[in-house]
Chains A and B, each alone.
Chain A
Amino acid sequence: MWRRLVGAQVRSQLQYRRSFALDAFGSFWISFVDFLIILTIFHNVSHLNAWNVHEVAFLYALSAITFALTDLFIGHLDQFPQLIRDGNFDIVLVRPRGTLFQVVAADFASRRLARVLQGVVVLVYALWSLTIHWTVWRVIVLLASLPSAVVIFSSIWVCGACIAFWTTDGGEFTNAFTYGGTTMAQYPFDIYATWLRRLLGFVIPLAFVCYFPALFVLGKPDPLGLPRVLDFVSPAVALAAAIVAGLVWRFAVRHYRSAGG
């Protein structure tokens, strides 16, 4: 079902080739700015705490790729307040499919693939310049971290979108945790103040997006001295985040009062 819905959208978007190319070009550059910030910083210093430019590039790439994938699948939730305001969510409620599924599958913006590509370019650069001693476990942790990060970002996005059930013009609150979240995850967590790390790293589990898996893959000691078991728990954290997001969504839908007349 999802494949048919998304396939139809991709085909229709590719009908307008020039539009698609220009959109993808714009998306590619705007996501590249975040990486230029990192390069500019490392033009002035060789390390941020104990992290060199290649290691931060690795963090950046993991955060950028997984966030871009999340954006590709459910970035449409940014327009969710509009759906509520227009009363069109009522249509979603009467159809015999899951509500969240319908809202999410309604838009698949292929141009956002350009952002994924931009992250992949940086990942290739990072892997090429780092000397990682690959072991089976490191490969497993790296591969497991990608879907985990997508699930964590998605859960944050869904919880944020639920705000729209109560106020339709507070959508930007979500940006602090989605766009703010990917920005935060691009840098080593030990540079942040303790209160910020606790709040955004653990209560909102952004530290599990790439900081802990990256520590393990790069074979770095944890500058924060936390238990090393945290390096492996990202999938479990992702599962917990997804359950919480599902419950929040169900709670919000049950309390929905239509704006439409």
Chain B
Amino acid sequence: MRLDWEIAKRGWGRYAAYPWATAAGVFTNTVFGFLYAYVLLAVYAHRTSVGGFDKADSVTYVWLAQSMIMTVYVFSWWELAWRIRDGSVATDLLRPLDPQRYWLAYDLGRAPYHFFFRGLPPFVFGALVFQLHYPTVLDAIAFVVSLVLAVVVSFGFRFIYNSVAFWLLDFRGVVTFSTSVVIFFSGMAIPLRYFPHTLRVVCYALPFASIIQTPVDVWLGKRTGLALLGFLVLQAFWAIALLGLGRILLGRATRKLVIQGG
């Protein structure tokens, strides 16, 4: 546990070292927040509700999604894949510490940094300009739980697509494709609630909804009582399932590992 904490601090420190990169990212997320907020507002010129989201829900969704984008790390994550490709993973495997646990601890140190410094500022900008929906105390607590689970689900999936590099050295296309799947099926690009009914039901069952859509629904108070509990359990299920799958892949890979480079 002590070790995990030290690794997590390194995860935080790695990103805290570049304040200008953080400022630039906040600026970009804010610009995208404004763009998508006005796009979705145009939808409500013709409708009062889409899939249970009213105007304020949708604009709040936009700013929440932009704020969560780095915390749950929607975009391509390559660090493990590069270490596999250049052979550094051999050193990692020699250490008396499991690589999956190492990267999970690192990611759980990174996520709070991104939450406070990449997530809060764009949301504040959005809140200053638009009428947003705010959670009750209970929903806010549930949101934090849901967000932590979202980070683990996202990490579990990122670890899997990075592990592909053990078998395939041309992994760039796989990573890009996996990222596009996450962006669209998590609800990052557009709320899953805007999808046609059947597609929406399927998407809610997939692990990707746990990354963006479920925490957003919780914040907006769309899930209460047993339904709320059910969605948190589903997130926990996907977190464990994806970590488990990553574990199996890692086990298989290390048994046949060929190290690149000399």
Contact surface of A with B, Cβ cutoff 8 Å: 16, 18-19, 21-27, 29-30, 32-34, 36-37, 40-41, 43-49, 111, 167, 169-173, 175-177, 179-180, 183-184, 187, 191-193, 196, 200
Contacts and interface: CB of A to CB of B under 8 A. Distances in A.
A193 B43 contact: no
Nearest to B30: A176
A23 B42 contact: no
Nearest to B28: A176
Contacts of B201: none
A101 to B, nearest CB: 26
Contacts of A25: 173, 177
Contacts of A34: 189
Contact of A41 (B38, B179, B180, B194): B194
A184 B31 CA distance: 10
Contacts, number: 124
A22 B170 contact: yes
Contacts of B24: 169-173, 175
Contacts of A172: 21, 24-25, 27-28
A19 B172 contact: yes
Contacts of A21: 173
Closest 6 CB pairs of A and B: A22-B173, A26-B176, A19-B170, A172-B24, A26-B173, A30-B180
Given A44-B194, A172-B25, A30 B179 contact: yes
A182 to B, nearest CB: 11
Given A18-B170, A19-B173, A47 B46 contact: yes
B27 A30 contact: no
Contact of B28 (A18, A22, A30, A180): A180
Contacts of A41: 39, 43, 190, 194
A176 B31 contact: yes
A183 B32 contact: yes
A196 B176 CA distance: 31
A37 B179 contact: no
B132 interface: no
B172 A26 contact: yes
A237 B25 CA distance: 29
Nearest to B188: A33
Given A26-B177, A37-B189, 7 more contacts: A30-B180, A30-B183, A33-B189, A48-B39, A170-B21, A176-B27, A187-B39
A167 B23 CA distance: 12
A47 B47 CA distance: 11
Interface residues of B, number: 41
Given A40-B195, A167-B20, A191-B38, A175 B175 contact: no
22 contacts: A16-B170, A21-B173, A23-B170, A23-B176, A26-B180, A29-B181, A30-B177, A30-B180, A41-B43, A44-B50, A44-B51, A44-B194, A45-B47, A48-B39, A49-B45, A167-B20, A169-B20, A171-B21, A173-B28, A175-B28, A187-B39, A193-B34
A34 B180 CA distance: 10
B176 A30 contact: yes
Given A173-B24, A173-B27, A33 B18 contact: no
Contact of B42 (A33, A48, A167): A48
A22 B35 contact: no
B46 A33 contact: no
B185 to A, nearest CB: 10
B184 interface: yes
B52 interface: no
Contacts of A176: 27-28, 30-32
Nearest to A172: B24
Contacts of B120: none
A49 B39 CA distance: 10
Nearest to A32: B180
B172 A196 contact: no
B174 interface: yes
Contacts of B51: 44
A244 B46 CA distance: 41
A208 to B, nearest CB: 17
B180 A180 contact: no
B90 interface: no
A48 B43 contact: yes
Contacts of A177: 31
B261 interface: no
A101 B30 CA distance: 32
B175 A169 contact: no
A167 B20 CA distance: 8
B87 to A, nearest CB: 18
A161 to B, nearest CB: 13
